[in-house]
Amino acid sequence: MAEVAAIRHIRLTDFRSYASLNLELRGQPVVLSGPNGSGKTNLLEALSMLSAGRGMRRARLGEIARQNGRGGWTVTALLSGALDESQLGVGVEAGSPEKRVVRIDGASAPGPATLLEYLSFQWLTPAQDRLFMEGAAERRRFLDRMVLSHDPTHGKSAATYEKAMRQRTKLLEDLPRADQTLLGILERQMAEAGVAMAAARREMTSRLAAGADQLNNAAFPAADLALEGALEEALSVESAGDVEEAYEKRLKDGRWRDAAAGRALEGPHRSDLFVMHREKQQAARLCSTGEQKALLIGLVLANATAIAANDSRVPLILLLDEVAAHLDAHRRAALFDILHETGMQAFMTGTDADLFEAWGNRAEHLDVRDSTISGSL
């Protein structure tokens, strides 16, 4: 396996609880232990801002700046591989708290999507422990984050679709006087981008199935996946071109219906991911809390295994917040072994350093106290 690029340096300014941080790393997996409220999750969130989207907490950019700080914030990371290194930076200025500035090697970049050319992130947080019990939106975001680790263009498709859908919804408020030509253009954009999204999600479920087969670890049960959505289901039996044409026609025919509802009633924004415990043949939402956690981790590991097997050019960084808290010793050891085998860098948090003892010297252990980080005691 080729050497995987890793984050070797992190610098924060006025981010959440950090007035400043200048952290050198060895490129190994990183364990951050310390009491609640010490700044562990804030560091993971800072790293997650080096990606497309709103980060692992989905916070507004203006809410992230440190209280009593100067109003802006910055996150910079040095990504180092076998042959080269890149400095990636994001932040907002005090006068423009909702405008994210992106820099690559010191030069301005067009936007956050550019970062996907350098690295991608997958995260697990305690809030996701109820992923199989909550609404479909969270499962879509979870799956789409995985898709981005393989296909950076998925973010562009999603952005195009969302923008066209918002503009169409606004126009539909003025039926029948709305510009019919513009409506047709927007519906065509929705059809093209929406089918691309659905196709990418279908391909991702296939990758996850292959990754689960390669993983084949009893500590984390394999999952069978199904996508529930009109476009995804149509793509299983029709060509992408035919599905686009049919969806565009349904959008046109459904204008009055969507106008009355105030939103588009069909499309990839309403799709869902169905997950089943393979061995038990039981829906994930009906499994125990422990089994749901294991299934969730298993999906992340299946994706990591699939990426490692393909020697992806773009490294995947894992952000695992409180990942070990509800795992028994056997599953913790299995998790660390699998992560080690993938060669990927993972950042893990926990209140108890003993939970990560099985890592040994394969990981860098750091202690976090009052947003100050030092070598673990």
The 10s digit of each residue's pLDDT in 86-127 is: 999 999 998 888 899 999 999 999 989 899 999 999 999 999
Token couple for 249: 């026609």
Residue 294, domain member (yes or no): no
Mean pLDDT of 232-257: 97
Look at residue 308 in the predicted model and tell me its pLDDT. Answer: 83
Residue 298, domain member (yes or no): no
Whether residue 186 is found in the same domain as residue 283: yes
Residue 177, domain member (yes or no): yes
Whether residue 92 is found in the same domain as residue 152: no
pLDDT digits (tens, 9 = 90+) for 60-80: 998 999 998 988 999 999 999
Whether residue 113 is found in the same domain as residue 44: yes
Confidence band (pLDDT; 50, 70, 90) for 235? very high
- What does the mean pLDDT of the chain come to? 93
Residue 34, domain member (yes or no): yes
Residue 163, domain member (yes or no): yes
Whether residue 217 is found in the same domain as residue 169: yes
Report the chain's terminal Cα–Cα distance, integer Å.
33
Gap between the Cα atoms of 125 and 130, Å rounded: 10
Mean pLDDT of 137-147: 95
pLDDT at 83 over 90: no
351, 18 contact by CB (below 8 A): no
Confidence band (pLDDT; 50, 70, 90) for 1? very low
Confidence band (pLDDT; 50, 70, 90) for 375? confident
Q: Residue 97: give the domain boundaries.
A: 1-119+314-377
Residue 112, domain member (yes or no): yes
Last residue of a domain, one of 288, 323, 345: 288
**pTM of the entire structure?**
0.93
Whether residue 92 is found in the same domain as residue 4: yes
Interior/surface letters 226-250, b for 16+ CB within 10 angstroms, e for the rest: ebebbbbbbbeeeeeeebbebbbeb
CATH number at residue 140: 1.20.1050.90
Whether residue 265 is found in the same domain as residue 171: yes
Q: How many structural domains comprise the chain?
A: 2
Token couple for 92: 């907002």
Mean pLDDT of 226-233: 96
Residue 124, domain member (yes or no): no
Whether residue 279 is found in the same domain as residue 145: yes
Look at residue 314 in the predicted model and tell me its pLDDT. Answer: 85
Interior/surface letters 316-345, b for 16+ CB within 10 angstroms, e for the rest: bbbbbbbbbeebeeebbebbbebbbebbbb
Confidence band (pLDDT; 50, 70, 90) for 377? very low
CATH number at residue 321: 3.40.50.300
Element (H, E) at 12: strand 6-15
Whether residue 265 is found in the same domain as residue 143: yes
